[in-house]
Each structure stands twice: as structure tokens, then as C-alpha cells.
Chains A and B, each alone.
Chain A
Amino acid sequence: MEEYFSSDDECCYSDRDSLDGLENEDSRTHWAPSKGPASKVITKESLLAAQREDLRRVMELLSVREHHARTLLIHHRWDVEKLFAVLVEKGKSVLFMEAGVSLADQQNLGVPLPPTVMCEICIEDVLGGDATRMDCGHCFCNECWTGHFVVKINEGQSKRIKCMAHKCNAICDEAVVRNLVSKTHPDLAEKFDRFLLESYIEDNKRVNWCPSTPHCGNAIRNEDDDFCEVECSCGLQFCFSCLSEAHSPCSCLMWELWVKKCRDESETVNWITVHTKHCPKCHKPVEKNGGCNLVSCICGQAFCWLCGGATGRDHTWSSIAGHSCGRYKDDGEKKAERAKRDLFRYMHYHNRYKAHTDSFKLESKLKETIQEKVSVLEDRDSKLRDFGWVNNGLYRLFRSRRVLSYSYPFAFYMFGDELFKDEMTNKERDIKQHLFEDQQQQLEENVEKLSKFLEAPFDQYEEEKVMNVRMQVLNLSTITDKLCQKMYECIENDLLGSLQLGIHNIAPYRSKGIEKASELSVCWGNNSDKALHCGSSGRTTESDQPSGSGSSEESGISSRKRARMEGPGGAFFDLNLPADNVDRSEL
């Protein structure tokens, strides 16, 4: 470790005002292989741009119109690569057919409708101008089309409204839908557009809404296939797979079980039911203290532990005077033993988990007080000018504390019977548990030491003593980071990696903490000829007509600013609620 306190220069990297600064390059604590940020924040404004990019790729490659590209993408859950793979594998016609894109010959569609058309739905003759022919060639009257669209949008099926004809799988042209619906139901036309726009989030396996409540309005796109934890620009850190709080090194399943267990406190309830019974006379809970099944309440009433019935006071080993319930066996005893053992095990892990979570909360307050200490030191006229180590250490403390607290539920499931009973022999399990607990203990010790030094009133110390604290903090920061890294490696390679059931995956350890999703760069591209219909209601939109709906003024603003920019009524999509929520509240 010597290298870490070799010279002042090396340690005096530039001071930083906030913990955010630590996200930046810091060669010292750089264990994880560095990758560019793989997740992007999609805000209300960049949502259009995000879709546009994918739509354009498909439109260009297949030379199709926008609504066809969208239909194809929705069918393939916005996975452009998969769509292209299907194209190569099965060919264009299958790709189109499966997704409901109609390849009816375009010349035929160019032919104008005859002066009158018989609509097969209302069985009425209508003027050609009052009927619409869809890409699949099927023609019905506008009134029937509108009714059909309205019913489907109300059903929440607006992303894929099928043609009205029997057995026709073609998806209706969104421009036609928008146009017809907006004439009579402008509110529904808006809803239709919102559904289409949000399909990019709802139907996309790489994109999730940020799970914050109240909702920040953002979604996150993750480019990697890996399990990961991300931080939204609203500050919430979450697991991208299960959308609950970041929980590594627990797997999603472990975390789900743990949360449920803590909520139910099922074990505690078991314990109470196994260990106390209500007195048949005064109904107070009575705890059993000893092997005997004749218990007596403080009110003086004696009763049989097994059936709860009131009894006389005399008893022998096998019977109680004036009472025979036939349950005087040790069966209940065994159950009680088991429940007790399980409860103690759970309590062991839960107490430690809780202790670290609580410390984490307390230490979060340190963030404020420690700034005061730093400013006291800065005002002093001393050799020591740079206090980056304080924030650095504090950050490392938070990071390791998190890892430590989640490592307890992990261990609870890893070495318990619930998930992996048949995966290891008892002996294997003991060895692995030892290995893991060794590491956990080491980490625990160092985290506590780090915490102690950072909480110390070092602003009151002599200069020499401050130098000592600094060295300790630097040293311990490095050690805890290394230990966290090692623990994850052990979990990934020796514990989860050796399982037959490959369902437990965890987000990898990152020294620098959970990745902050970066802003999606909004590049409107050069050819904005194909406009995305962001759907102001009532507008008649021909899909080939450029409308430039995404204006460039949206492009250069950061999302934080944008979040505050929401003018009242100015935006027509309330992305603060997923579409179905909005619907429910409207109904």
C-alpha cells in the first residue's frame, strides 16, 4: 500500500466540490474496465429523436414509409438488429407479412375510388370521397373506419389497429387513423399519438421507464445486454432488470424474496405463534418456558400448550389431570425447533443488513457536516491544501456500505435452503460460506475503520494528526474498493458461477459507482424530410409530407432544465404518467 502515500504531489489531485466530481477520471480507484456510458436518459423531448433514429434506419434500408417502419419496429419490439436479422433470414415478404405490413401492389392503390362504393360494414352505398382504401386494398366508408378506430383506441390497442376485413392482418395506416379520428374525437387522436410515441418505451426491451415516484418523466435506454444498475438524471438508482432499487450483489430473485420476507416478517409471526399461546381465561399471550406442555398464565389459569384448553394443575410426563387431547407428542416440539432455527438465521442476516442500511442513512448526513470540517481546515494556513481525499473517502464509504448491506441478503439466500438446497452438498456449502464470510468480515472491518476516521473531528486536529487521518482514509479507501471488487469476483466466479441454474445474474461491481445514464444526444440529422407525427390533434398529416414536427429548438437543452421547462398546457404529452395511467384517470 506504500505507493498510496508516497508523496504529497501524488495525493494532491484537484479538490472537488461535490461528490459528483468523483465520477470523473480517478486512476487510483480504477479497477473496473472502463466503458462509455451504456445507458441513456430519454426525456420527453428526446423521445421523438430516439424513435426517429430507429425509424429512419428501417425506412432507408427497406425503402418503406414511416408508418410501415413503425409497424415493423413495434412488431419486433424496437429491436432494429433483430428486424434486420429476420430480413436476412426470411426475406422481405415474410418480414412484412408477419408484422402486418401490406404489400398490395401500389399501382392499384393509386387508382382513384369509383364514384360510389358499397361499404361492407354498414352495407351502405357511399360516395368515393367518403370512403378510404387501406394499403391492403380493403375499402370501407369513413364513418365505419372511424368507429372501428375509436373502439380500438379505447381498448388500448392503438399501436396495432387491424383492418376491418375478415382475416386481414394488415395494420392500418397511422395517418389515416389520425386524420379520421381527429375529425370527431380530437382527444382520442391525441391519445393515439401518445400511445404510438410511448410504444418506443413500452414495447422496447432496451428501454424502461425510470421507476421514480412521483415519476420524473424520463425513460432509460440501455445499450448493453448485461445486467446493470443505472442512475437516472433525477438521481434515482435502480436495477434495470427488475426496476427496484439497486440491489447487487443480490440477484433480482434474491432481492424480491428478501423484500417480501422483510415485509411479511413471516418468520417473526411464526415465532410468535409457535412460542406464545393465548390463555383460555384472560386471553393474554403466554410464552412457553421449558419443555412441559402444561403452562400457566399469570392469572393463575393452567392450560394445555398443545390444544390451548384449560386444565387442572396436576400432571405426569405423559398426561395432564382432567385433560386428554391426544396431542401430547413431541411433534409440536420439533416444529418449534425448526421455526426457531429459521428465525434466528433470518434475524442474524436481517440485523446485519439493517445495521448497515441504517449506518448508510446516518453517514449520508456526514455529507453535510464534512463540508464544514473541510472549510475549517481550508481556512487554516497549512501545508495541506487539497482535501479531495475527504470526499473521495466519503464516497468510497457510501459505496462499500451499500455493497456490504446487500451482501447480507445475498448470503442469506446463497447459503440457505430456499434457493440452492440441491445445488451444493453441505460440505461444499460450508466451505463456500467460510470463504465468503471471510471476505465479508474483512470488508466490514475496513468499512467501519473508514467510517470512524471520517467521523472524527479532524478539523480540530493538529496538522500532523490531520496528515495521519488523510493517510488512513486514502489507504482504507483503496482497500475497501479492492475488497468490494474481490467480493464480487468471488460471487460471480465461485458462488453464482458454479450453479447449475443460471438464473441468478448480478450487475457487475463498478468502483466508480452506479453508472449515471447520459443524456441522449439529440441529433436531428440532415434529412428531416420524413417527419415524425408528434401529433397535435386536428392536424391533417400526409405521411409523405414534410412537417418538421420536431423543432430544433429542443435539441440543445439539458434534461434537468427541460424538466422544469414544462409549461402549463404547452406540452401535449404528459410523460409523467405512462399511457395507461393517463387513460385510467381519464375514464
Chain B
Amino acid sequence: MMIVEFTVFSTFKFVAVKLSEVIKQQNNAAELFSVKASRARLFKEFKEVQREKVADPDIQLSCDDNNIFKWTALVKGPSETPFEGGIFQLAFAVPEQYPLQPPQVRFLTKIFHPNVHFKTGEICLDILKNAWSPAWTLQSVCRAIIALMAHPEPDSPLNCDSGNLLRSGDIRGYQSMARMYTRLAAMPKKG
């Protein structure tokens, strides 16, 4: 399996600026890279995903039947983390200039994690913003997100409570909160 390295944005403000830029670009750059090319690439990724399903049991990517620019993924919480045993759903909105511009990804499943917005599920991850490279795929983005779940970056929190617990060194507090939410939101209900 490929090793995914990543870093997380260091400040909130920066994220805000970048996000607004992304939106602006999408408006301006609509016809820059042919939609056909994005479709073709996504279609190839789709085929690749079918093949990789066996190879990577932690990720289950699927594409909306009617819209190839809408994807969802189910990822397994990494072991030896408070997310272990949980299944987390991610939603992908792929821009028409993909892969020249990154997909927008958010958690649909509630998760208590410093770099994920508790309400919106927004993710603060550099490869989804300025460190994006067209060589990433939706599959490798999922891997990066799994890696982020295992290695939170409390210095750029989107969830301040969670970030504060970690920063103050209260690892146990963080873990028990995160585990609680995993149980509540990411595990199938018993009975």
C-alpha cells in the first residue's frame, strides 16, 4: 500500500482565504479543462476502484449512478485509534476541472476530530487545498483522510474542543470523547 504523507494547514485564516479562492477559480475556470477530460479520468478511476476493492478493504468508494461528479466513500476507522470499529461516510463533490483542481470532501458521519468541523464535516487537509497535485486520485485522498484520522493535527483545529483537549495534553479525554462519538455515530446500532 502506498504511503500517504500529508500536512495540515497551520492557520484558520489561511483556510478561509484559500476556500474562497477555490470557489472563485471554479467560477472562472469552468471551461478551461474540458469536462470530457474530467469525465474520462473519473471513469478510469471508477474502473480502477472496482479492481482495488479487494486490494484495499478499508475503503469502499462508489459513484452516484446519475452523476459521475458525485462520489461517496465508506472508510474504516484505523485500528488503535478511537475510531476503530467505526465506519465513516465521506461525500465527494468533484469539480469539472478535476484533477487539475481538488475534489471537495466532507464527513457525512459525525466525528470528533480536531481537523474536522463537527457540524459540517469539513476537513482541513492541505492536499485538498494548496498542496493538491493532479496525480492524486479519489482513492488516495481517502487514504490521506484515514491517515489524518490516525494522526490529528491539533494546531490547526476545525473542532476547537477536540483540538484543545489534545493540545492541553489530555489524550485520554480526547480519546474517550472521540470513542463515544464513534460508538454513537459510526457503529451500527445494536438490536
Interface residues as binary, A153-178 with B (CB distance below 8 Å gives 1, 0 otherwise): 01100000010111110000000000
Which of B5, B40, B100, B133 is A151 in contact with, Cβ under 8 Å? B100
- In the complex, which residues of chain B have a beta carbon less than 8 angstroms from the beta carbon of A165? 133, 135
CB of A144 within 8 A of CB of B134, answer yes
A105, B41: Cα distance in complex, Å: 31
Separation in Å of the A118 CB from the closest CB of chain B? 11
B interface, over-half SS: loop
Residue of A nearest to B97 (CB): A151
A122, B28: Cα distance in complex, Å: 22
B37 at the interface (CB under 8 A from A): yes
Q: Which residues between 128 and 150 of chain B lie within 8 Å of chain A, taking CB atoms?
A: 133-136
A165, B136: Cα distance in complex, Å: 8
CB of B40 within 8 A of CB of A154, answer no
A50, B7: Cα distance in complex, Å: 39
A15 at the interface (CB under 8 A from B): no
Asked if A147 meets B135 with Cβ closer than 8 Å, knowing A121-B99, A123-B41, A124-B40, the reply is no
- In the complex, which residues of chain B have a beta carbon less than 8 angstroms from the beta carbon of A162? 133
Separation in Å of the A300 CB from the closest CB of chain B? 57
CB of A151 within 8 A of CB of B99, answer no
CB of A155 within 8 A of CB of B21, answer yes
Which of B32, B45, B134 is A150 in contact with, Cβ under 8 Å? B32
A448 at the interface (CB under 8 A from B): no
Q: Which residues between 278 and 327 of chain A lie within 8 Å of chain B, taking CB atoms?
A: none
CB of B28 within 8 A of CB of A121, answer no
CB of A151 within 8 A of CB of B25, answer yes
- In the complex, which residues of chain B have a beta carbon less than 8 angstroms from the beta carbon of A120? 135
CB of B136 within 8 A of CB of A154, answer no
Which of A123, A144, A167, A168 is B44 in contact with, Cβ under 8 Å? A123
Separation in Å of the B29 CB from the closest CB of chain A? 6
Separation in Å of the A575 CB from the closest CB of chain B? 24
- In the complex, which residues of chain B have a beta carbon less than 8 angstroms from the beta carbon of A342? none
A122, B41: Cα distance in complex, Å: 5
Asked if A143 meets B37 with Cβ closer than 8 Å, knowing A123-B44, A154-B28, the reply is yes
Q: Which residues between 161 and 204 of chain A lie within 8 Å of chain B, taking CB atoms?
A: 162, 164-168
Separation in Å of the B136 CB from the closest CB of chain A? 7
- In the complex, which residues of chain A have a beta carbon less than 8 angstroms from the beta carbon of B101? 151
CB of A147 within 8 A of CB of B28, answer no
B33 at the interface (CB under 8 A from A): yes
A147, B30: Cα distance in complex, Å: 12
- In the complex, which residues of chain B have a beta carbon less than 8 angstroms from the beta carbon of A65? none
A123, B136: Cα distance in complex, Å: 12
CB of A166 within 8 A of CB of B133, answer yes
CB of A147 within 8 A of CB of B133, answer no
How many residue pairs at the A-B interface have CB separations less than 8 Å?
Answer: 54
Which of B25, B37, B97 is A122 in contact with, Cβ under 8 Å? B37
CB of A167 within 8 A of CB of B5, answer yes
- In the complex, which residues of chain A have a beta carbon less than 8 angstroms from the beta carbon of B48? 123
A148 at the interface (CB under 8 A from B): yes
A123, B42: Cα distance in complex, Å: 10
Residue of B nearest to A164 (CB): B134
Separation in Å of the B99 CB from the closest CB of chain A? 6
- Considering residues A120, A150, A151, which has the most beta carbons from chain B within 10 angstroms of its beta carbon? A151
CB of B135 within 8 A of CB of A121, answer yes
Separation in Å of the B81 CB from the closest CB of chain A? 25
A587, B97: Cα distance in complex, Å: 18
Residue of A nearest to B136 (CB): A166
Residue of B nearest to A151 (CB): B100
A587, B28: Cα distance in complex, Å: 8
A122, B33: Cα distance in complex, Å: 12
CB of B33 within 8 A of CB of A147, answer yes
Residue of B nearest to A156 (CB): B21
- In the complex, which residues of chain A have a beta carbon less than 8 angstroms from the beta carbon of B97? 147, 151
A164, B41: Cα distance in complex, Å: 15
Asked if A147 meets B32 with Cβ closer than 8 Å, knowing A164-B133, A166-B135, the reply is yes
Separation in Å of the A188 CB from the closest CB of chain B? 9
- Considering residues A147, A154, A167, which has the most beta carbons from chain B within 10 angstroms of its beta carbon? A147
A167, B127: Cα distance in complex, Å: 10
- In the complex, which residues of chain B have a beta carbon less than 8 angstroms from the beta carbon of A587? 28
Residue of B nearest to A123 (CB): B44
A469, B21: Cα distance in complex, Å: 67
Residue of A nearest to B48 (CB): A123
Which of A123, A124, A147, A168 is B100 in contact with, Cβ under 8 Å? A147
Asked if A154 meets B29 with Cβ closer than 8 Å, knowing A122-B41, A147-B97, A148-B100, the reply is yes
- In the complex, which residues of chain B have a beta carbon less than 8 angstroms from the beta carbon of A121? 41, 99, 134-135
- In the complex, which residues of chain B have a beta carbon less than 8 angstroms from the beta carbon of A144? 37, 100, 134
Provide 27 A-B residue pairs closer than 8 Å at the C-beta atoms, listed in order of the A residue.
A120-B135, A121-B41, A121-B99, A122-B41, A122-B44, A123-B44, A123-B45, A123-B48, A124-B40, A143-B37, A144-B37, A147-B32, A147-B37, A150-B29, A150-B32, A150-B33, A151-B29, A151-B33, A151-B100, A151-B101, A154-B28, A155-B21, A164-B135, A165-B135, A166-B133, A166-B135, A167-B5
Q: Which residues of B contact A (CB under 8 A)?
A: 5, 21, 25, 28-29, 32-33, 37, 40-41, 44-45, 48, 97, 99-101, 133-136
Q: Which residues of A contact B (CB under 8 A)?
A: 120-124, 143-144, 147-148, 150-151, 154-155, 162, 164-168, 587
The 4 closest A-B pairs by CB, nearest first: A147-B33, A123-B44, A151-B100, A164-B134
Sample of 18 more A-B contacts, CB < 8 Å, known A121-B134, A151-B29, A165-B133: A121-B41, A121-B99, A122-B44, A144-B100, A144-B134, A148-B100, A150-B29, A150-B32, A150-B33, A151-B25, A151-B100, A154-B25, A162-B133, A164-B135, A167-B5, A167-B133, A168-B133, A587-B28
